[in-house]
């Protein structure tokens, strides 16, 4: 029964993406605010419908950053993207370049000021990312990066990439680490969505000025430690 509910949920939530994407396209093209409103509405709808269709609730912990900061988040599934996006006032994501060709997501990502990265070019991609961030931050916002570079299953270990440290140095912004347990309920792959409470936790900021290795070590300790704690909490609850 839970699988059937999950299948219905997945189908309708992608239909909602298409409907909202088409409906808001004229406003989104004319105004960045139109793109932001559309994406916020979609995130809220996806979380609201998950609550009553599959029993998946959401919780945001910690002080949500409002100013110009870098947000370095644990990435376990599409659901943690939605929770973070809805929570932040004006998020701008570092995203893989291929997503620009995804229907609706590509258009709205461009309008929101998200930064595409060609992950195959490595050093050149990092340099371009820092340059593109400087251009996009003519308008205030929260820059969201996934320091492991991809979705990682709960409890799995994947190295933290240097790109987040380079961006931290290049922007001079404080960095807010973010932990989550969302992948426990909404896996990276597959249809099944499990009931429970997906938590996103904003942690104490790391001020500007840390040395690169020290920053990465501090970031990894905060994100991994709190994500593991959220995982244990959910499993024991």
Model pLDDT for residues 121-157, shown as the tens digit of each residue: 555 556 566 666 666 556 678 999 999 988 999 988 8
Examine residue 113 and state whether it is found in any structural domain, yes or no.
Answer: yes
What are the distances in angstroms from CA 129 to CA 91, 135, 143, 158, 171? 16, 10, 12, 22, 11
Q: Determine, yes or no, domain membership for 163.
A: yes
Classify residue 130: in a domain, yes or no: yes
On whether residue 7 sits in a domain, the answer given is no
Poorest-confidence range of 76-90, 104-118, 182-196? 104-118
pLDDT score, position 123: 55
pLDDT above 90: residue 231? yes
In-domain check, residue 104: yes
pLDDT over threshold 70, residue 85: yes
d(CA 223, CA 145): 13
Host H or E run for residue 47: helix 32-53
Taking 90 as the threshold, does the pLDDT of residue 105 lie above it? no
Under DSSP, is residue 165 helix (H, G, I), strand (E, B) or coil? helix
| Phi and psi angles of residue 201, each rounded to the nearest 5 degrees, phi first | -120, 120
CA 1 to chain centroid, in Å, comes to: 29
47 assigned to some structural domain: no
In a domain, 31, yes or no: no
Domain boundaries, position 204 = 57-236
pLDDT at residue 122, rounded to an integer: 57
In a domain, 23, yes or no: no
Count of structural domains, the chain: 1
* pLDDT band with cut points at 50, 70 and 90 for residue 173: very high
pLDDT in tens, 42-72: 999 999 999 999 999 999 999 999 989 999 9
């Amino acid at each position: 029964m839970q699988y059937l509910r999950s299948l219905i949920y997945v189908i309708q939530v992608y239909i909602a993406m298409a409907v909202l994407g088409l409906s808001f396209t004229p406003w989104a093209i004319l105004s960045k605010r139109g793109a932001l409103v559309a994406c916020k509405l979609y995130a809220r709808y996806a979380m609201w419908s998950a609550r009553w269709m599959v029993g998946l609730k959401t919780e945001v912990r910690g002080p949500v950053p409002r100013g110009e900061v870098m947000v370095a988040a644990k990435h376990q599934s599409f659901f943690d993207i939605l929770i973070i996006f809805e929570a932040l006032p004006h998020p701008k994501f570092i995203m893989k370049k291929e997503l620009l060709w995804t229907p609706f997501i590509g258009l709205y990502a461009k309008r929101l000021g998200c930064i595409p990265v060609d992950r195959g070019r490595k050093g050149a991609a990092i340099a371009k990312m820092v340059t593109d961030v400087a251009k996009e931050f003519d308008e205030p916002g929260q820059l969201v990066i996934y320091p492991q570079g991809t979705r990682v299953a709960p409890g799995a270990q994947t190295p933290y990439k240097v790109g987040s440290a380079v961006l931290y140095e290049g922007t001079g912004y404080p960095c807010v680490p973010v932990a989550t347990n969302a992948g426990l309920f909404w896996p990276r792959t597959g249809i099944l969505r499990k009931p429970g409470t997906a938590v996103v936790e904003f942690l104490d900021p790391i001020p500007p000025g840390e040395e690169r290795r020290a920053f990465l070590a501090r970031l990894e300790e905060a994100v991994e430690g709190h994500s593991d704690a959220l995982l244990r909490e959910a499993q024991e609850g």
